[in-house]
């Protein structure tokens, strides 16, 4: 505090010393409060776009950030109303509602699109506060704004991406319709007519001719299966989940019962942990995860293996489920590729053939639930597939 503001105690009569001390203390508090106010204003000016207006909305103050973002000088702004930065984006009703709010003495908050002096649009998150005088009459308004242009641009980009995704989904639906009708019908014709030829004309064909018809029939059936798999895959993730509390232990055991014939044929054994926790999930889709993982574990068993374990780790609120086997294992370089649709690490003549889509379905179902799936494995040492459902 400047020393000139203090009153020397030696020049004041004794009976006035207490009053003088109180006055000096009050001056010190005022000086301190003024200093803190200046600091607060400095911080506010660095962070926000600030302006003040009179009751008619004419600008009486604009801070440096206001001038910087609008490209107008204070001389150009003072005495003008905010129409000078009106972008034309909002309707008249928008501003009428704003004025009705603040003239009634209430605070208005919202997002406004403005325009700079050189014609560029920018967005602000705005708070407008009425400033009443002591007699209750409005002194004017103070507006505190934050530049949200980058956020609004990102929202517009996301909206554009969503529209593109919707368009892509419509195209995918159209493809699914074509695939299910226009493509599958001739494939069935090829398959059926190949069968007719084998039944009616096999006596006129040699063994090589019959083998070629069998191959033609088999290829047509495989193409039909591939198209059907693509159709089912395209639907996963685009349908709403039918969520409910599910006892995962019961679900895993039901899956094993459905696969019992394949389990017995392979001479395998599947053990399901007794303490698998309940989770909220789509029971039909979650069952398909276990079906694909257990079926894979059985298919890719080693010569002297066939032990499969279904268990879990972590905590009951966010459990990590696993399907462990002692089969042929997977090389680390193939960890990502095994989740690609129709990707097979072995030829059609090994391990019972198949389309190479089971793990892809499992991954998509897991991700549709908001979870993730991964594998830990080494060649010839078995595999552990982990997944979460949230």
- Asked if the model's pLDDT at residue 2 lies above 70, the reply is no
Residue predicted with more confidence, 218 or 7: 218
Distances in Å between the alpha carbon of 167 and those of 60, 160, 161, 173, 233?
Answer: 50, 11, 10, 10, 18
When mean pLDDT is compared across 199-203, 235-239, 248-252, 272-276, the lowest value belongs to 235-239
Query: How high is the pLDDT of residue 3?
Result: 44
Query: How high is the pLDDT of residue 7?
Result: 45
Farthest-apart Cα atoms in the chain, separation? 138
* Own/partner pairs, 337-342, CB within 8 angstroms, 24+ separation: 338/375, 339/363, 339/373, 341/229, 341/230, 341/233, 342/226, 342/229
What CATH topology corresponds to 50-147?
Beta-Lactamase (3.30.450)
Q: How far apart are the first and last CA of the chain?
A: 61
- CB of 98 within 8 A of CB of 109? no
CATH of 244-387, one of 3.30.565.10, 3.40.50.1260, 3.40.190.10, 3.90.25.10: 3.30.565.10
When mean pLDDT is compared across 15-24, 43-52, 206-215, the lowest value belongs to 15-24
In 3D, which of 21, 31, 27, 30 has the Cα closest to residue 8? 21
Question: pTM to 2 decimals?
Answer: 0.53
Distances in Å between the alpha carbon of 248 and those of 280, 359, 372?
Answer: 10, 19, 17
- Asked if the model's pLDDT at residue 68 lies above 80, the reply is yes
Tens-digit pLDDT profile for residues 89-117: 999 999 999 999 999 989 999 999 999 99
Tens-digit pLDDT profile for residues 121-168: 999 999 999 988 767 678 899 999 999 999 999 999 999 988 887 787
When mean pLDDT is compared across 212-221, 261-270, 335-344, 377-386, the lowest value belongs to 335-344
């Amino acid at each position: 505090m400047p020393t000139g503001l203090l009153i020397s105690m030696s020049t004041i009569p004794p009976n006035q010393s207490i009053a003088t001390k109180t006055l000096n203390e009050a001056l010190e508090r005022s000086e301190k409060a003024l200093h803190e106010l200046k600091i607060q204003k400095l911080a506010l000016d660095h962070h926000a776009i600030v302006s003040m207006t009179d009751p008619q909305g004419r600008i009486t103050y604009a801070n440096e950030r206001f001038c910087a973002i609008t490209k107008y000088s204070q001389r150009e702004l003072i005495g003008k109303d905010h129409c000078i930065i009106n972008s034309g984006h909002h309707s008249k009703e928008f501003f009428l509602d704003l004025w009705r709010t603040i003239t009634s003495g209430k605070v208005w908050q919202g997002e406004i699109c403005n325009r700079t002096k050189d014609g560029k649009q920018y967005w602000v998150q705005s708070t407008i506060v009425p400033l009443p005088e002591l007699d209750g009459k409005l002194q004017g308004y103070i507006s505190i704004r934050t530049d949200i242009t980058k956020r609004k641009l990102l929202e517009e980009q996301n909206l554009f991406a969503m529209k593109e995704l919707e368009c892509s989904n419509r195209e995918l639906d159209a493809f699914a319709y074509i695939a299910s009708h226009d493509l599958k019908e001739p494939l069935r014709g090829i398959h059926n007519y190949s069968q007719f030829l084998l039944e009616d004309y096999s006596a006129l064909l040699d063994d090589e001719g019959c083998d070629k018809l069998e191959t033609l029939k088999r290829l047509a059936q495989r193409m039909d299966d591939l198209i059907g798999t693509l159709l089912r895959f395209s639907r996963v993730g685009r349908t709403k989940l039918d969520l409910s509390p599910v006892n995962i232990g019961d679900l895993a055991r039901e899956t094993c019962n459905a696969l019992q014939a394949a389990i017995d044929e392979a001479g395998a054994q599947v053990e399901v942990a007794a303490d698998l926790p309940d989770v909220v999930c789509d029971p039909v889709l979650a069952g398909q995860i276990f079906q694909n993982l257990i079926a894979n574990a059985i298919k890719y068993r080693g010569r002297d293996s066939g032990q499969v374990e279904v268990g879990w780790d972590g905590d009951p609120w966010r459990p990590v489920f696993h399907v462990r086997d002692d089969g042929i294992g997977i090389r680390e370089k193939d960890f990502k590729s095994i989740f690609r649709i129709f990707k097979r690490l072995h030829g059609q003549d090994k391990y019972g053939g198949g389309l190479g889509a089971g793990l892809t379905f499992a991954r998509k179902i897991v991700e549709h639930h908001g979870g993730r799936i991964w594998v830990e494995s080494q060649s010839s040492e078995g595999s552990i597939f982990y997944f979460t459902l949230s």
